[in-house]
Amino acid sequence: MTEIVSGRIPRHGRRIIGIWLVLTAVAVPLIVLVLGPHLPPGRMTAEAASQRDANVLMTALLVPIALLVVVCFVYSFAVFRQRGEVILDGPPLKGHAGAQLFWIVLTSLIVLALAVWGSYTLIAGSHGAGGGQGPDPVAKPNGYQHALPVQVIGQQWEWTFRYPTYGGLETRDLAIPNHVLVAFHVTSIDVTHSFWAYELGVKADAVPGVDNVAYVHAHKTGFFQIRCAELCGLWHGHMAKKGRVLSSSAFQAWIAAAKTKNAAVMAYLPKYNRVYFPAPLRRAG
């Protein structure tokens, strides 16, 4: 049996909007002020900080939208639930041109604003946001000509690092100086790897024959994790180590110690180059 509901209809829309506004007013400050400082990847570098800011902004924008969906769902579940044996038909739905226009304009503005903000941040604000930009970066930070070059060499299954400024020194460990712009030159001598320095906010593919440049500017000293983010073979999961951001004096001392430690092999290293096509290939079959 079907029956048309008659009589005064509660203002469900206003109720939903009211509940949503209250929840949003509570959730957004909590996200920005409480959750935000714990969102990855931290603030060790300018690039990491920009990534965290993006994560906070995106979360703060998305949560109200998610809350609206959840409030509508829960409200409908609770209020419009069928009770008893009688099947009731709800009031007829009608289009509302104003509401539709408002929603289209609002969502378009959000998407466009994010696109403008994201593009600015990526190119001008954080100079590539720690991502690999290939051999000829588009987003170059101020003073990039004087950045300290550090070459990252991926190989199955280890990272090594070269410092052309210091005679092409190669090491198993990565250290960079604090408050100095660093240009990572990421490459590989075998398969494709991906250099992911988590707390630095750097992630750049290591591709054979390609010099993939990523800029980073550290703001505080400490350790950071290094991982390979590209499935690269049997021991891919073991391709991890810790790097360090050192004070300027500690970095110079570290370089001096590394030179002494690796002096014996320096004569055998190839001349520093942006990419390598090393022998032997005899085994290539």
Partner 1 sequence: MSKAARFGIVSAGIAAGAALIAFYIVSYLTVTPPVVAATGTAPQVNLTLQTVAAFGHPPHVDWVSYLAENAHGKWVHSTVLRVPANSTVNVTIYQFDTATGLRNPFWGRPRGTAGGTINVDGKTLNVLNPDLASHTFAIPDLGVSVPLKGVADDAKNQCSVAPCSLSEAHTTVKFSFQTGKPGKLRWQCFVPCAAGFPLGFGGPMQSLGWMDGYLEVVG
Distance CA 164, CA 199 (A): 24
Query: Does the footprint of partner 1 cover residue 270 (CB under 8 A)?
Result: yes
∠ CA(279), CA(212), CA(146), 5° rounding?
Answer: 110
Closer of 11 and 241 to partner 1 (Cβ): 241
Determine the Cα–Cα distance for residues 125 and 255; give it in Å rounded to an integer.
31
Give the nearest distance from C-beta 279 to partner 1 in angstroms.
6
- By C-beta, is 220 or 238 nearer to partner 1? 238
Please, what's the b/e burial string for 68-102 (b: 16 or more CB within 10 A of its CB; e: otherwise)?
Answer: beebeeebeeeeeeeeeeeeeeeeeeeeeeeeeee
Write down how long the chain is: 285
The residue within the footprint of partner 1, chosen from 156, 221, 225, 273 (CB under 8 A), is 156
Q: Smallest gap, in angstroms, from Cβ of residue 164 to partner 1?
A: 14
User: For 35, which DSSP code?
Assistant: I
Residue 235, interface with partner 1 (CB under 8 A)?
A: yes
In the block, tokens 């809350």 appear at: 67
Which of residues 12 and 261 has its CB atom nearest to partner 1 in the complex? Answer: 261
- What is the nearest approach in angstroms of partner 1 to the Cβ of residue 271? 11
- Tell me: does residue 282 bind partner 1 (CB under 8 A): yes
CB 240, min distance to partner 1, A? 10
Per DSSP (E only), the strands in 29-106 are: 87-89
271 forms part of the interface with partner 1 (CB under 8 A) = no
Query: Strand 202-206 relative to strand 193-197: parallel, antiparallel, unpaired?
Result: antiparallel
The verdict on 279 binding partner 1 (CB under 8 A) reads yes
The single residue among 233, 242, 248, 257 that binds partner 1, judged by CB under 8 A, is 233
Q: What angle do CA 53, 54, 58 make, to 5 degrees?
A: 120
234 is a site residue for partner 1 (CB under 8 A): yes
Q: Alpha-carbon distance 283 to 285, whole Å?
A: 5
Q: Please, which of residues 161-180 interact with partner 1 by CB under 8 A?
A: 170, 172
155 in contact with partner 1 (CB under 8 A): yes
- Under the binding rule (CB under 8 A), the answer on residue 257 touching partner 1 is no
Binding site for partner 1 (CB under 8 A): 153, 155-158, 160, 170, 172, 189-191, 233-235, 238, 262, 264-265, 268-270, 278-285
